[in-house]
Structure 1
Amino acid sequence: MLALNTNLQKLVNIAQKDEKLCIGLMSGTSLDGLDIALCRFTGNGLQTQFSLVNFTTIPYADSFKREVQQVFAKKEASLEKVCLLNAYIGSFHGDLILQALAEWKINPTEIDFIASHGQTIYHAPKRLHQLKDYPNATLQIGDGDHLAVKTGILAISDFRQKHIVAGGEGAPLALYGDVLLGSKPGENRILLNIGGIANLTWLPADGNYADVLCTDIGPGNTLIDAACRKYYNQPYDKDSKIALSGSVNEPLLEALFVHPFFREAAPKTTGPELFGMAFVDEAQLMSGTAAIPNEDLVCTLSAFTAQSITQFIQQNFKADDIKIFTSGGGARNPYIIDQLKKKLPTSVIKDTAELGINPDAKEAILFALLGNEALCGEPIAIGNNPAVLMGKFSFPL
């Protein structure tokens, strides 16, 4: 019998370890920076035990953001730029990992694997592109081989493609980690992530996996952030100061909800390809509100995010004893959280720190968990989601 080559033998050895030290990476649609979560896992599947060893977000320079924005959520972009950024981001993220490990005084040889989400540049479910001969599709760049070679660490990346091939839309992938880390028998729970896009996972008290729902809801911070960049030269509405200085414009708010996405059945996915400033401009034109004050626009977009979340929860989950655990940048938006509490008065709303999960680190943690499952897990059937293991392996040598 032929022996395994060195890379495959190391892969088997890592998979068989009782405890794994790994890094989860998340770079979201807000382009704020790279979330780096150093995680420790034992077990897999329902026996998964997890601890967050360290976490940091390394902000992106404006020059890097401008490069990515040239190809981000655009139907037409430079193929050369996409090609170059795919290689560059893989290597660049490797540099940021090495920087974080140096600050934590950890040798890269101590890390078993990296699980990288990559940088989404286009998300195209068939519902939105409506091209009959083409399937659901999504594209994340930041090549895993460049990441592995730069760091000398096994890299697992490109998680979303297997989900699509198996019949999903490639998102939200929070489902698997939310079920494994966030379920509690006897409690109706919602894990609500308010990132660029808002998504949630419904975890029913009876623990019936057939009833679990994970879906995008609509915009999270993406429209608020876009308006702040356009009109205030600010990356986001810190402490909701702009929203709190304005008033909700009801005709505009009503026009924003006209889009059929809000009447489509869940689960569903979306992205800034739909919810961008062109979407807002169209709603303002429809409602005759193009000249409203900028602070009223930001306030209305904030209300739009909050109301889309609360309406979805009210329409889909009838229990009045739901515990909602928030994460993502929107979890620190006072206006949005206050609106959720007002419109969902029977629900307890706290962030995921209550579950022992840093709300800023949650998405990076969940990709680390997907990496752990790719190594030593088995497919789990949850609701109507594909029962698959996701991720592609890249060796450092």
Structure 2
Amino acid sequence: MAVDPSVVEPSMLDALFAEPTAARCLAREDGRIVRHNAEWSRYLVALDSTFLPVDFPLRAATLTELRVPSWTRGAGAIRIPPHRPRPGPGPLWEGTLTWVREAGLEMVLVSLHEVSRAGVDVRLASERTHQASSQESEQRFRTLAENAPDIIARFDRRFRHLYVNARAEAASGLTREQLLGRSNAELGFPPHLVDLWHSSFERVFTTGRPEVLEFTYGTGGDARHYEAKLVPELAEDGSVSSLLAMTRDVTAWKKVELELREADRLKSDFIAVLSHELRNPLAPIRNSLVLLERTAPGTDAHSRAREVLVRQTEQLARLVDDLLDIGRLTHGKIELQPTRLDAREVVRASCDAVRPLFEDRGVVLDLELSSESAWVEVDRERLGQMVG
């Protein structure tokens, strides 16, 4: 796709073509050269177009014609790398190819100059060192990624997989060949997950900041919970060129988290019930204390007040004992003392103990026991707690 080329004034071109150290030519869109300088002629003397690489910015050049690849249009200033125009010894040339607008016409401006062999060697050596360093860094990354327990993938700006490790293959059920070069949408992942992932990818590419997301993959008993961290990878110019997604299976953690939440809910329910049960005896105890102050010893009212105090304090004591037993049970310190007994006796004693409490509330407690003995071997106190 073509873009608006740079606009140059005739005076600017005059200055450029007046430089004696640069070989320059200006050609129209159809390839016809309309202007060149003496250095361009010197470059052409050494030029063998068949010797130029296939992907070179220049295809062919003469004093009257210039051919360039179509991909150069709209690409801005394109660097022409150091090269010899023909096989064998000779000077190296490098420069730029730029589409410009002059007198309302789109044209190609080529500028070339000789470079020293030493300078080129230094630059090429630096490029080779940088490339070797990049390759070594990438190899270290892949060694770590292939041996990591997490799912690791790299995505380009079109959200396509550039790299996946072995764990990504195992988790998705797809081979590396099936994953690479395709986006999650193209691979047929559930639409709601694709929307979640791609919106997060877009934010990372736009802001350059890492992002964390959680999602569930699968349904029913096969569902797995994952947590992913998306990290931008920066190009030399500071832009986000790709991103890394490091995804961890947190299904086991989620299960523990749910169990802890359920345990916390049960504890809260227990405390609420216990608070209610501990509060119930307080009102009868307060009323009985008032009656004791206002009635004479030996009267029926005085005696009933004392009986209420005894029953309610015993009820409080049982509640506190139950609470202590729960603590002992949690820490594995409950000691049972099993004995052989008739369970009917424990049931009868428990009913006798709570019957006054029922009567205080106007509730009738009826007890019907079997005529046959119910022999069991249990801890009498614990069985009484269960019944009462």
Structure 1 length-normalised TM: 0.15
Largest Rg, 1 or 2: 2
Question: Larger relative contact order (C-alpha < 8 A, sep ≥ 6)?
Answer: 1
Structure 2 length-normalised TM: 0.16
